[in-house]
Structure 1
């Protein structure tokens, strides 16, 4: 089925991406472009039955290349942005770990978080000169004052449950993955033990640094719990992390909770202060006018993420961190008012939608221009046949096998963990809430296409 007007927005992690993409879907639908939004794995399996519209991929990694190529061969207009393109250590390491040469050749255009992200993509040796649009990401739209009211009720509930609390966000999925076999950096370190000579792989250097930070965090979370026994300390692991590791590290601290519930925004708004290292949540805290502390007991310019750390108060040792937490528990709004203009300038360089036109408005404008400029045509028969064979192989054999494999990233239990069951009533309720904040979206209709996939029109 061909439909030039359809836009398709796949989401990998519900808590991280879905609300923002649902907001974009509402903007697109209201502008006359029906939009499909939902769980990425389900949408990709539906490739042979979806309208051949404009697909916005969520990454350009080696894993993405196969899907993007398959969709292009099936006749979709393939575009992409990188959900993890905002926060990275260096452009070189970003290109090495997040951009695949084959995946970069597939999109007809790319949407960038800001100039820093665009420059890193532009300088990749396999970049094809596809148009790069500085649109930002709809996730930042949710943090603007116009939409922060969406999170007020949840924020109040969290404060009622935990009182004044410290939030510690961790991002060690490549060292402490939900499935040990997917802890790629830790596995790289284990493999290196059996090799001779000095390693030259920059990924190995990153693995050593990340593991060192992880070990410091294991000690730090317990120390924070012990230092403030009257205060609740909430550890919020990365969605792909193993929670048991953090539970074990703090089992003697009755005031520590290890929780991963819902969107991170109300947690950031409710917390007295947020602690992290090189984490995107520090950028979100800054955009929410909240204080973040970057715990940096060891540093490495080649591997630390400068954007979130430079938007935070940096603490080089545990004593300094505990002092800042103590101050934050008294009055977090009074912390670190210095250097605010430099931080705003830094944010603008990385975030095209930091202020002014929102990311959703930018994306709607660009997508309408793409529709005007391009004429969609069916790919040659042989190209479609190759795309169909890939789609049927993935749907009928590969994904079915992987869904049953314990410890696999496509295992059914893990996918449920990443994107819990969402009903059309849930979607309707969220659209109504966003609409009430913005005074729009009253005429939109929602149709559930299949489990966790919805049409907004």
Structure 2
């Protein structure tokens, strides 16, 4: 093992690399301007690194979605023991079910009892609505902590270069009824536990809520599949790419559409490449729909059930709504079918979230004279055979990391470089300039 000491270190644990790795690297590049080293990685790398650290800064969420599994309790004890300041931002911060939106924010996404802890230095929320809900519950304790940050994930998509229009992209968000190997199984103990947070009620109410949500999602799932199958036959010369949610079972779609020559299933890497090179994006109240809008793509929100208590607030307006195959075809022919989402109260798209979070971290580091110490595990270049690549995890590739970092350096005018990389992590720091280069 080697160590990093005498300089500030930020730890970023990535739950889903397919969803969050790219923006984390942008954040690391931006932090590098101030001499801050970032260690980005999956749970099996970040947790042992944090165990062997002192005064390293934690940027992100906890181990679980709601911060309430046994591993989270151990993590909180380590925060206290290792004097870890936490800057909390949740990767699912803004868009949730209408019926239980307030409970989801205060019990699952930003559990108030945890947000009150002294080790929590900042609580980042995506939009005005979450801030209002949290302050209504705990204004005294959270007023100085809460900041509306938007989400770096969406910010870096704005003004993205438009690629070739190669395919129609269909993004599926049906993890509830089509879970992958790492997804939460419907009606499992964990699924009911999360439903209990949403309802803030009895176990019976949690079961009933989960059943209704599962039924709604299953109905949309079957309608979506039928729509894609019809689209394939009505537009035989168009290539259709299905992008499953990272927690979905992609093999299900491969088997289902194996007879359709113009349908491809692609669950590899970040969805940005697929969005950028699409003619249009079809989704069902999914964050990829918002990403498509920010990339300037024709965006169709397939909502066969229309308005109901289980819509995803903030995403129901992401694109032009279509309820059946004929409406989808009409939207595809329309030159401007997408809607403006700039006034979305569930996410502020007008903040410079990378700079806002960076400024907060730099201010905290300077004020508290933060000097971290971390013992760094030696990298493993290849993932072990038992590493599950069918779910949301996958081995980080050198090419992918370098692509993201070069992109970030160019857009942010930074000079970040890779200090170390393994299949499950990357360490990014400011590039050292040789004396002869300066002179």
Q: Distance in 2 between matches of 1:84 and 1:76?
A: 23
Matched, 1:345 2:355: no
In structure 2, do the counterparts of structure 1 residues 174 and 375 end up closer, same or farther at CA, with 3 Å as the change threshold? farther
In the TM superposition, what is the alpha-carbon distance from 1:451 to its structure 2 partner?
4.2
Give how far 1:110 is off.
0.9
Q: Is the 8 A contact 1:167 1:275 kept in 2?
A: yes
User: Which residue in 1 is equivalent to 2:174?
Assistant: 172
Is the Cα contact below 8 Å between 2:12 and 2:40 reproduced in 1? yes
Q: Deviations over 1:387-442 (max 9, x none)?
A: xxxxxxxxxxxxxxxx99xxxxxx9433675332225565344322322344x223
SS of structure 2 residue aligned to 1:92 = helix
SS for the counterpart of 1:454 is strand
DSSP 3-state at the match of 2:53? coil
Whether the 8 Å contact between 1:15 and 1:262 is mirrored in structure 2 is yes
- Residue 94 of structure 1 pairs with residue 90 of structure 2: no
Give the equivalent residue in structure 2 for 1:446: 418
> Aligned partners of 1:207, 1:123: CA distance in 2, in Å?
30
Q: How does 1:339-418 map to 2 (within 5 A)?
A: 340=340, 343-346=341-344, 349-352=345-348, 354-355=349-350, 358-374=352-368, 412-414=386-388, 417-418=391-392
**What is the match of residue 288 of structure 2?**
281
User: Following TM superposition, by how much is the alpha carbon of 1:67 offset from its aligned partner in structure 2, in angstroms?
Assistant: 5.4
Aligned CA-pair RMSD: 3.4
Change beyond 3 A, Cα 1:44–1:186: closer
- In the alignment, which residue of structure 2 is the partner of 1:258? 265
Choose the corresponding residue for 2:185, options 180, 183, 186: 183
- Please tell me whether the aligned partners of residues 175 and 183 of structure 2 are also in contact (alpha carbons under 8 angstroms): no
Q: In the TM superposition, what is the alpha-carbon distance from 1:32 to its structure 2 partner?
A: 2.5
Whole-angstrom distance in 1 between the partners of 2:227 and 2:279: 18
Unaligned runs of 5+ in 1: 190-196, 329-333, 379-402, 405-410
Question: Structure 2: how far apart are the matches of 1:198 and 1:25?
Answer: 42
| C-alpha distance 254-358 of structure 1, shift in aligned 2 (>3 A) | same
Q: Which residue of 1 aligns with 2:380?
A: none
Distance change (3 Å), C-alpha of 1:228 and 1:102: same
Structure 2, gaps ≥5 residues long: 193-203, 373-382, 430-439
SS at match of 1:136: coil
Structure 2 vs 1, CA of residues 432 and 318 (structure 1 numbering), >3 Å: closer, same or farther?
A: closer
Instruction: Describe the superposition over 1:158-208 as per-residue Cα deviations: whole angstroms up to 9, x where unpaired.
Output: x5xxx3x2111001112111139832358879xxxxxxx998743332222
* Preserved contact between residue 18 and residue 269 of structure 2 (Cα < 8 Å): yes
CA contact (8 A) 2:15 2:42 kept: yes
Rounded Cα–Cα distance in structure 2 between residues aligned with 1:227 and 1:124: 52
Query: Any conservation in 1 of the 2:7–2:36 contact (CA below 8 Å)?
Result: no
Name the structure 2 match of 1:235: 242
Aligned position for 1:435? 409
Between Structure 1 and Structure 2, which shows a larger proportion of strand residues?
Answer: 2
Aligned to 2:200: none
How many angstroms does 1:39 deviate by? Answer: 2.0
2:376 maps to: none
Residue 49 (structure 1) shift: 2.0
Higher relative contact order (CA 8 A, sep 6+): 2
**In 2, are the aligned partners of 1:185 and 1:203 still within 8 Å (CA)?**
yes
8 Å CA contact 1:4–1:54 kept in 2: the answer is: no
1:297-308 → structure 2 map (5 Å cutoff): 297-308=304-315
Q: 1:112 is matched with which residue?
A: 125
Aligned match of 1:72 in 41, 66, 79? 79
* Count of equivalent residues: 394
Paired position in structure 2 for 1:336: 337
64-73 or 8-17, larger mean C-alpha shift? 64-73
Give the structure 1 partner of residue 201 of structure 2: none
**422-431 vs 80-89, which moves further:** 422-431
Q: CA deviation at 1:241?
A: 0.7
Contact persistence 1:168–1:274 (CA under 8 A): yes
Q: 1:143 aligns with which of 157, 162, 168?
A: 157
Q: How far 1:335 sits from its partner (Å)?
A: 1.9
Aligned-pair distance for 1:105? Answer: 4.2
Alignment partner for residue 456 of structure 1, among 406, 421, 428?
Answer: 428
- Match of residue 396 from structure 1: none
> What secondary structure sits across from 1:368 in the alignment?
helix
Shift of 1:41: 3.4
Check the 8 A contact 1:424/1:447 in 2, yes or no.
no
Q: Tell whether the 8 Å contact from 2:8 to 2:370 is kept in structure 1 after alignment.
A: no
Map residues 44-55 of structure 1 onto 2, 5 A cutoff: 44-55=47-58
Distance (Å, rounded) in 2 between the aligned partners of 1:266 and 1:167: 11
Matched with 1:419 is 393
CA distance in 1, matches of 2:131, 2:114: 16
Q: Distance in 1 between matches of 2:322 and 2:213?
A: 21
The structure where helix makes up a greater share of residues is 1
SS of the residue aligned with 1:361? helix
123 and 198 in structure 1: CA distance in 2 versus 1, 3 angstrom threshold: closer
Residue 91 of structure 2 corresponds to residue 83 of structure 1: yes
